[in-house]
Chain A
Amino acid sequence: MKSVYRKPLFAIVAGAVIATASLPGTSVAGSSDKQILADYLTSAKTQNPGLEAFSADRGRNLFLSSPASGKPDTPSCTSCHSTDPLNSGRTRAGKDIAPMALSKTPARYTDRKKVEKWFRRNCKSVLGRICTPLEKGDIITFMISQ
Chain B
Amino acid sequence: MFKFPQIAIATATGFIVASGSAIADERYNPVKDQTTLKECGACHMAFQPQMLPAKSWEKIMDGLSDHFGEDASLDKETVAHLKKYHVENAANSKWWGGKFMRGLSDSSAPLRITETPYWVREHNEEVPKWAWNDPKVKSKANCLACHPRAVKGDYDDD
CB closest residue in chain B, given A124: B71
Given the complex, which residues of A lie within 8 Å of B69, measured CB to CB? Answer: 71, 73, 92
A contact residues vs B (CB 8 Å cutoff): 71, 73, 90-95, 120-121, 124-125
Contact B71 A93 (CB under 8 A): no
Contact A95 B45 (CB under 8 A): yes
Given the complex, which residues of A lie within 8 Å of B44, measured CB to CB? Answer: 91, 93-95
Contact A120 to B43, CB < 8 A, known contacts A92-B139, A94-B138, A94-B145? no
Q: Contacting A94 at CB < 8 Å: which of B42, B70, B71, B137? A: B137
Counting CB contacts under 8 A, is B141 at the interface? yes
One digit per residue, 1 when the CB lies within 8 angstroms of any chain A CB and 0 when it does not, for chain B 80-117 equals 00000000000000000000000000000000000000
Contact B70 A95 (CB under 8 A): no
In the A-B complex, the 10 residue pairs with the smallest Cβ-Cβ separation, listed nearest first, are A94-B142, A93-B44, A94-B138, A93-B141, A91-B43, A94-B139, A121-B71, A93-B139, A95-B44, A93-B43
User: Considering the chains assembled together, what is the distance between the CA atoms of A124 and B43 in angstroms?
Assistant: 16
Given the complex, which residues of A lie within 8 Å of B71, measured CB to CB? Answer: 120-121, 124-125
User: Considering the chains assembled together, what is the distance between the CA atoms of A71 and B69 in angstroms?
Assistant: 9
- What would be 14 A-B contacts, judged by CB atoms less than 8 Å apart? A90-B138, A91-B42, A91-B43, A92-B70, A93-B142, A94-B44, A94-B137, A94-B138, A94-B139, A94-B141, A95-B142, A95-B144, A121-B71, A121-B72
Chain B interfacial residues counted at CB < 8 A: 17
Known pairs A95-B44, A121-B70; list 18 more (Cβ under 8 Å). A71-B69, A73-B69, A92-B70, A92-B139, A93-B139, A93-B141, A94-B44, A94-B137, A94-B138, A94-B144, A94-B145, A95-B41, A95-B43, A95-B45, A95-B142, A95-B144, A120-B71, A125-B71
Given the complex, which residues of B lie within 8 Å of A124, measured CB to CB? Answer: 71
User: Considering the chains assembled together, what is the distance between the CA atoms of A124 and B66 in angstroms?
Assistant: 12
User: Considering the chains assembled together, what is the distance between the CA atoms of A91 and B67 in angstroms?
Assistant: 14
Main secondary structure of the interface of A (DSSP, over half): loop
Given the complex, which residues of A lie within 8 Å of B137, measured CB to CB? Answer: 94
User: Considering the chains assembled together, what is the distance between the CA atoms of A93 and B73 in angstroms?
Assistant: 17
User: Considering the chains assembled together, what is the distance between the CA atoms of A95 and B70 in angstroms?
Assistant: 15
Given the complex, which residues of B lie within 8 Å of A73, measured CB to CB? Answer: 69
Given the complex, which residues of A lie within 8 Å of B72, measured CB to CB? Answer: 121
CB closest residue in chain B, given A96: B144
One digit per residue, 1 when the CB lies within 8 angstroms of any chain A CB and 0 when it does not, for chain B 118-147 equals 000000000000000000011101101100
Given the complex, which residues of B lie within 8 Å of A71, measured CB to CB? Answer: 69
